[in-house]
Structure 1
Amino acid sequence: MAATNSADEPWPVRTVSVKIGDWVHKLGQIWVEGQITQLSRRPGTRTSFITLRDPAADISLSVTCDPEVIDRSPVPLTDGTRVVMCGRPSFYHARGTLSLRVTEIRAVGIGELLARIERLRQLLHAEGLFDPRRKRPLPFLPRGVGLISGRASAASRDVVSVAQGRWPGVRIVVRDAPVQGPSAVPRILGELKILDDDPDVDVIVIARGGGSVEDLLPFSDEQLLRAVSACTTPVISAIGHEPDTPLLDLVADLRAATPTDAAKRVVPDVAAELAGIATMRRRSAGALRNWVQREAHRVDGLRARPALADPLRLVDVRVDHVERHRADIRRDIARRVESESHRHEHLAARLATLGPSQTLARGYAIVQNFDDDSRVAGEVADLPDGARLRIRVADGAVRAQVTEQEEKP
Structure 2
Amino acid sequence: MSSGTEQQPTRAANQPSSADNPWPVRTVARKIADWIHRLGAVWVEGQVTQITARQGTQTAFLTLRDPAADVSMTVTCPSRLLRTIDPPLREGASVVVHAKPTFFLGRGTLSLRANEIRAVGIGELLARIERLRKLLAAEGMFSAQRKRKLPFLPKGVGLITGRASAAEHDVLVNAQARWPAVAFRIVNTAVQGVHAVPQIMHALSTLDADPNIDVIVIARGGGSVEDLLPFSDETLCRAVAAAGTPVVSAIGHEPDSPLLDYVADLRCSTPTDAGKRVVPDVKEETARVHQLRDRARRALHGWVDTQCRLLDQLRSRPSLADPLGPIERRHTEIEVHRERGRRAILTRLSSEQAAIASARARLTALGPSATLERGYSVVQFFDSAGNLKVLRSVSEIAEGTPLRVRVADGAIRATTLPQEE
Q: Same fold per TM (> 0.5)?
A: yes
| Equivalent position of 1:158 in the other structure | 170
Question: Letter of the aligned partner of 2:407 in structure 1?
Answer: V
Question: Letter of the aligned partner of 1:173 in structure 2?
Answer: R
The answer to whether the 8 Å contact 1:21/1:93 transfers is no
The reply to whether residue 402 of structure 1 matches residue 404 of structure 2 is: no
| Equivalent position of 1:36 in the other structure | 48
| Equivalent position of 2:221 in the other structure | 209
How far is 1:8 from its partner?
Answer: 6.4
Unaligned runs of 5+ in 2: 1-10, 18-22
Q: CA 1:22/1:325 → structure 2, altered by over 3 Å: closer, same or farther?
A: closer
Question: Letter of the aligned partner of 1:401 in structure 2?
Answer: A
Structure 1 distance, partners of 2:99, 2:373, is 169
| Equivalent position of 1:7 in the other structure | 15
Structure 2 distance, partners of 1:175, 1:78, is 29
**Per-residue CA shift, 1:196-221, capped at 9, x if unaligned?**
33344332211112222222111111
The reply to whether residue 96 of structure 1 matches residue 108 of structure 2 is: yes
The answer to whether the 8 Å contact 1:158/1:259 transfers is yes
How far is 1:237 from its partner?
Answer: 0.7
Question: Letter of the aligned partner of 1:140 in structure 2?
Answer: F
Question: Letter of the aligned partner of 2:192 in structure 1?
Answer: Q
The reply to whether residue 349 of structure 1 matches residue 361 of structure 2 is: yes
Name which of 168, 186, 190 aligns with 1:174: 186
How far is 1:240 from its partner?
Answer: 1.8
How far is 1:148 from its partner?
Answer: 1.4
How far is 1:180 from its partner?
Answer: 1.0
RMSD, matched Cα: 4.3
Structure 1 distance, partners of 2:62, 2:52, is 6
The answer to whether the 8 Å contact 1:369/1:390 transfers is yes
| Equivalent position of 1:283 in the other structure | 295
Name which of 107, 129, 138 aligns with 1:126: 138
The answer to whether the 8 Å contact 2:33/2:104 transfers is no
How far is 1:250 from its partner?
Answer: 0.9
How far is 1:222 from its partner?
Answer: 1.8
The reply to whether residue 393 of structure 1 matches residue 413 of structure 2 is: no
* Structure 1 counterpart SS, 2:151: coil
The answer to whether the 8 Å contact 2:60/2:78 transfers is yes
* Structure 1 counterpart SS, 2:203: helix
| Equivalent position of 1:196 in the other structure | 208
Q: CA 1:90/1:367 → structure 2, altered by over 3 Å: closer, same or farther?
A: closer
**Per-residue CA shift, 1:113-137, capped at 9, x if unaligned?**
3333223223322333222222222
How far is 1:355 from its partner?
Answer: 3.2
Question: Letter of the aligned partner of 1:204 in structure 2?
Answer: I
**Per-residue CA shift, 1:256-295, capped at 9, x if unaligned?**
1122322332233344334333323332333344344445
Q: CA 1:188/1:369 → structure 2, altered by over 3 Å: closer, same or farther?
A: same
Q: CA 1:18/1:88 → structure 2, altered by over 3 Å: closer, same or farther?
A: closer
How far is 1:235 from its partner?
Answer: 1.4
The answer to whether the 8 Å contact 1:383/1:402 transfers is no
Structure 2 distance, partners of 1:346, 1:216, is 129
Structure 2 distance, partners of 1:399, 1:22, is 166
Structure 2 distance, partners of 1:398, 1:20, is 160
* Structure 1 counterpart SS, 2:107: coil
The answer to whether the 8 Å contact 1:156/1:207 transfers is yes
| Equivalent position of 2:158 in the other structure | 146
Structure 1 distance, partners of 2:269, 2:402, is 143
Question: Letter of the aligned partner of 2:296 in structure 1?
Answer: S
| Equivalent position of 2:241 in the other structure | 229
How far is 1:351 from its partner?
Answer: 2.8
Structure 2 distance, partners of 1:354, 1:313, is 59
Q: CA 1:290/1:330 → structure 2, altered by over 3 Å: closer, same or farther?
A: same
Unaligned runs of 5+ in 1: none
The answer to whether the 8 Å contact 2:402/2:416 transfers is no
The answer to whether the 8 Å contact 1:163/1:263 transfers is yes
How far is 1:377 from its partner?
Answer: 3.7
- Comparing 143-152 and 90-99, the one that deviates more: 90-99
Structure 1 distance, partners of 2:361, 2:400, is 40
| Equivalent position of 1:219 in the other structure | 231
TM-score by length of 1: 0.77
Structure 2 distance, partners of 1:384, 1:54, is 158
